[in-house]
A = this chain, B = another copy of it.
Amino acid sequence: MARTVERCLLCAAMTRITGVRTLDVRAPTSRTLAGSDAVHTDPDYSGAYVFLETDGEHEGVGMTFTIGAGNDLCCAAIEQLAVLVVGRDVDELVADSAAMWRDLTNHSQLRWLGPEKGLIHLATAAIVNAVWDLSAKTAGRPLWQLVADLSPEEFVGLVDFRYLSDVLDRDEALDLVRALAPTKAARIAELRRDGYPAYLTSAGWLGYPEEKVRDLSRAALADGWKCFKTKVGVDIASDVRRCEVMREEIGDLPLMADANQVWDVGQAIEWMRHLEPFNLRWIEEPTSPDDVLGHAAIRRAVAPVGVATGEHAANRVMFKQLLQAEAIDYVQIDACRLGGVNEVLAVLLLAAKFGVPVCPHAGGLGLCEYVQHLSVIDYVCVSGSLDDRTTEFADHLHEHYMNPALIREGRYLVPEAAGYSIDMWPESYAALTWPNGSEWQ
């Protein structure tokens, strides 16, 4: 009888995923050139949204980020992959979510479309993130806290160490996490008091004229921003001018530059000589995101300027090699390019093992809302350090979010709402749905 009662209580507490919907959400950002860079000249910041319907109180909401065309393909891929979680109990999925992750990335037929890269991996991220959102909402906690509250054993149990074991295995990861566990509470309190350091990209979109860059930089300084990034890579003269304008406005504050993959290896090294006077903290995406050895060559040549990459690093295996080859000074995880929360944790652990700071990519629709959780997890559970860390922020599109990322004096406030912060307002979904939302009429 006792067992029967226990079972019934358990059943009552279960939340089962009963169905899936997707929504093609796009913001017409190309009209203002917000988000423009040397390669992505006309982005429409978009999210392929997935809604995991349940028999419980909450839906799980997840998203992967794209820049417009093809967002519909991501939605279609999500629908095909999501059958692997429909019918499952969310607590069971999360409790063994390394296995869930393995199932999603190793579908015996769909994996041919990757494996673990490109569109199918973006779709994986949306689903994984939605499962975590559902779990956090059900637990009534923000995602970062749900993860931070786990024991070290549970934490490393979320990671699929496949293809990593030559560099990092479960035991070594466990040692890393265990060492920081006793002091988690102090770091959480610190972040709740001070926020997490951030930098601003919004002043330097490549499509902006000089005076707009100048005005935006001044406004950002007045708002308390202390770290900035500019886009580069169209031509040397205009890059130099853009850096001059930024330096005139922000003085000696940290300045980074982002080339968005536009150069060959030798070209990157040559070009960066012209930017030496500007004392850049890092050059971001100087060449193909696949070129581990190329990044290593560039890093050797441009020091003391750091090299950063990762928003297009396809998976944890690419990050493993970027770290093995000493190719980067900054690990730029992306909440959706990697296959969702579980694979991000793997990369946080890899970065900690190599002692390289994680500075997440954000700025795109919903990405700031996502990565604020990941930065908190990194500091609280994995790295234990804020040294040389800063998380990207761009100041557009947040009005669409029910629980938007909040900035005070150039730092992210710790998100406190239950879930993974990716729910939009109903009116925003309606307005941004492509191609029939009001924004697209």
> Which residues in A have some Cβ–Cβ distance to B below 8 Å?
39-44, 66-70, 72-74, 76-77, 80, 106-122, 162-166, 261, 264-267, 287-294, 297, 312, 314-315, 317-318, 320-321, 324-325
Query: Within 8 Å CB of A39, what residues of B?
Result: 106, 108, 111
**Choice from B44, B76, B162, B294 contacting A166 with Cβ under 8 Å:** B294
Query: Within 8 Å CB of A293, what residues of B?
Result: 292, 321, 324-325
B120–A119 CB distance below 8 A: yes
Query: Within 8 Å CB of A290, what residues of B?
Result: 116-117, 314-315, 317-318, 321
State A395–B231 Cα separation when bound (angstroms). 53
**Choice from B70, B113, B287, B292 contacting A112 with Cβ under 8 Å:** B70
Query: Within 8 Å CB of A163, what residues of B?
Result: 264-265, 287-288, 291, 294
B112–A67 CB distance below 8 A: yes
Question: Can you list 18 A-B contacts with CB-CB less than 8 angstroms, sorted by A residue number?
Answer: A43-B108, A44-B109, A66-B113, A70-B77, A70-B113, A73-B76, A73-B77, A77-B119, A113-B118, A114-B119, A115-B261, A115-B289, A119-B119, A163-B291, A165-B264, A288-B317, A291-B321, A293-B325
What copy number does this chain have within its complex?
Answer: 2
Taking A290-B317, A317-B291, A324-B293 as contacts, is the C-beta distance between A67 and B109 under 8 angstroms? yes
Query: How far is the CB of A393 from the nearest CB of chain B, in Å?
Result: 20
Query: Within 8 Å CB of A162, what residues of B?
Result: 264
A sample of 4 more A-B contacts (CB under 8 A), given A43-B112, A114-B119, A118-B118, is A68-B109, A73-B77, A113-B122, A163-B264
Query: Within 8 Å CB of A116, what residues of B?
Result: 288, 290
A312–B73 CB distance below 8 A: no
A321–B292 CB distance below 8 A: yes
State A52–B44 Cα separation when bound (angstroms). 29
**Choice from B66, B113, B165 contacting A265 with Cβ under 8 Å:** B165
State A204–B41 Cα separation when bound (angstroms). 49
B69–A73 CB distance below 8 A: no
B120–A70 CB distance below 8 A: yes
